[in-house]
Structure 1
Amino acid sequence: MNLHVINTGFFKLDGGAMFGVVPKALWQRTNPADDNNLCTWAMRCMLIEDGDQLILIDNGIGDKQSEKFFSHYYLHGDDSLHSSLNKIGLNESEITDMFLTHLHFDHCGGGVKYDANGKTELVFQNAKYWTNGDHWKWAIEPNAREKASFLTENLLPMEESGHLNFIDLKSKSPFSQFDILPVDGHTDKQMIPKIKYGDKTIVFAADLLPSTGHIPLPYVMGYDTRPLLTLTEKEAFLKEAADNNYIIFLEHDPVNECCTVKHTDKGVRLDETFALKDIL
């Protein structure tokens, strides 16, 4: 089994929104903001290559939204979903499974595009698209707080194409390569893959832990629908990660691909940071 980092570019979000009640004087030490109080974030995905299976975890923001939409997020960087796949000798038609941790636009927007006639179509036309039934219902009947993050043009084409598949979170993972940890603090039934790689466990942290700057427990995003639940879920996860030396793959950290954590007198804290290739 091989693992590949698939970089899809960077975007910007308000630093205060990304760190909730934590004062800027504290969070800017790890994530400095620009003059508009915006911090840079990665949209870093992962490809699992295992025999005939090519499983892509998340796919970034895509490029089909309007200029006005993108003006809010300041997309930048040299990488794209397409170019990153090409760098490892692959194209979109070869992906067999599109696993979506959750359906916010910066995690699933790259899975749907507009064709020459302005109609939506799947980017990965030979892939199964995976979510779970509870989160799907949450996304297509969104609450007012999250409505702007669940975009119809990202979601309905998956269903209309017949490629949408639901994971039963009460049963064993349908993937032999990883188990799934469901978490509900950020959004209902976000799915966190815990990948088995030899004697290592690599956790694709998604929005349970966006960056190393979010390791201290109070550093919870203002975007989270249930911040107190995030506190509980993150505390349990970080203790488990420290106990078992998990490698944490960071989807949004602008600098660090991976990290480990350790127990300290102040609670679980950052241990080491490194690139994924350094441990494969």
Structure 2
Amino acid sequence: MKLYPIESGNFKLDGGAMFGVVPKTIWNKTNPADANNLIDIAARCLLIEDEKRLILIDTGMGDKQSDKFFGYYSLWGTHSLDSSLLKYGFHRDDITDVFMTHLHFDHCGGSIQWNSDKNGYEPAFKNAKFWTNENHWEWATKPNAREKASFLAENILPMQESGQLNFVERPQSDFGFSKELGFDIYYVDGHTEKQMIPYIQYKDKTIVFCADLLATAGHIPLPYVMGYDTRPLLTMPEKSKLLNAAADKNYYLFLEHDAHNQIITVEHTEKGVRLKDVFTCEDVL
């Protein structure tokens, strides 16, 4: 097995929204804001090469939305999904599976693209199976008012219309091995219904793709919960379970949204679990 970080693009989000009730005087120390109160955000995906399979975890925003839409997110940097794949000798047509932690636009927008006539949409990975879970699909396709702006029909429905949509078989508990994908999945409900967090056994390490359960290294303290979370009181024990296990077992936490810290480890302290070490992807993968 080989793992590759796939940088699909960078953007910015409001720091207050990213840290909920935490005062700016505190979160600004770890995630400094610009003059518009915006903080740097990455859309760092992960590619798993395992024998004949190429599994891409999340796909970023994509590029099919309007200039007005992207204007809300202050895109920056030169990363793109295609150039990042090419860096490792791959093309999107090589991808066999696209695993989506959840269906918010910044995690799955790159899964769907305009068709050649720009009068409709089609899968951006024509040879891939798209993976979500049935509970989350139901949640995303019948969105509540709070999340409606994050679940965009054009990002989601073409997966089903193309016949490429597949559902991961969920275990009875919140954690279990996916025989379809070949890694463990932790199912969490604080951010959105049944977000899936992959735990990948890689050489002698456990790599946890944290998605929106732990957005950045600055979100490690338990009360530091995003304002975007639909059930923040669930996020805290879900995050606690992850972080305590990570400190006990020295998991490597792959941060999808931290533009400046790619992979981290954590440790137990008198104040609770806190940051231990920071690594680049090249250090670990």
TM beyond 0.5: yes
Give the TM-score range, shorter chain.
Answer: over 0.9
User: Which residue number corresponds to residue 158 of structure 1?
Assistant: 159
TM-score norm. by structure 1 comes to 0.98
Deviates more, 1:110-119 or 1:123-132: 110-119
5+ residue gaps, structure 2: none
Deviation at 1:174, TM superposition (A): 2.4
User: Which residue number corresponds to residue 62 of structure 1?
Assistant: 62
User: Which residue number corresponds to residue 267 of structure 2?
Assistant: 262
5+ residue gaps, structure 1: none
Deviation at 1:175, TM superposition (A): 4.1
**Aligned AA for 1:261?**
V
Q: Secondary structure at the match of 1:106?
A: helix
Q: Secondary structure at the match of 1:146?
A: coil
User: Which residue number corresponds to residue 253 of structure 2?
Assistant: 248
**Aligned AA for 1:227?**
P
Q: Secondary structure at the match of 2:113?
A: strand
Please give the per-residue CA displacement for 1:145-175, whole angstroms capped at 9, x wherever unaligned. Answer: 0000000000000000000000121174024
> Does the C-alpha gap of structure 1 residues 177 and 199 become closer, same or farther in structure 2, counting only changes over 3 Å?
farther
Please give the per-residue CA displacement for 1:207-233, whole angstroms capped at 9, x wherever unaligned. Answer: 000110000111100000000100110
The separation in 1 between residues aligned to 2:79 and 2:115, in whole angstroms, is 22
User: Which residue number corresponds to residue 113 of structure 1?
Assistant: 113
1:139-150 paired onto structure 2 within 5 Å: 139-150=140-151
Q: Is the 8 A contact 2:168 2:180 kept in 1?
A: no
Deviation at 1:277, TM superposition (A): 2.0
Which residue, out of 265, 277, 280, partners 1:275? 280
User: Which residue number corresponds to residue 179 of structure 1?
Assistant: 184
Q: Is the 8 A contact 1:177 1:196 kept in 2?
A: no
Please give the per-residue CA displacement for 1:180-216, whole angstroms capped at 9, x wherever unaligned. Answer: 0000000000000000112210000000001100001
Runs of 4+ in 1 over 2 A off after TM superposition: 174-177
1:206-221 paired onto structure 2 within 5 Å: 206-221=211-226
Give the aligned length. Answer: 280
TM-score norm. by structure 2 comes to 0.97
Please give the per-residue CA displacement for 1:62-117, whole angstroms capped at 9, x wherever unaligned. Answer: 00001111110011111100110111111011000000000000000001000221
Q: Secondary structure at the match of 1:31?
A: coil
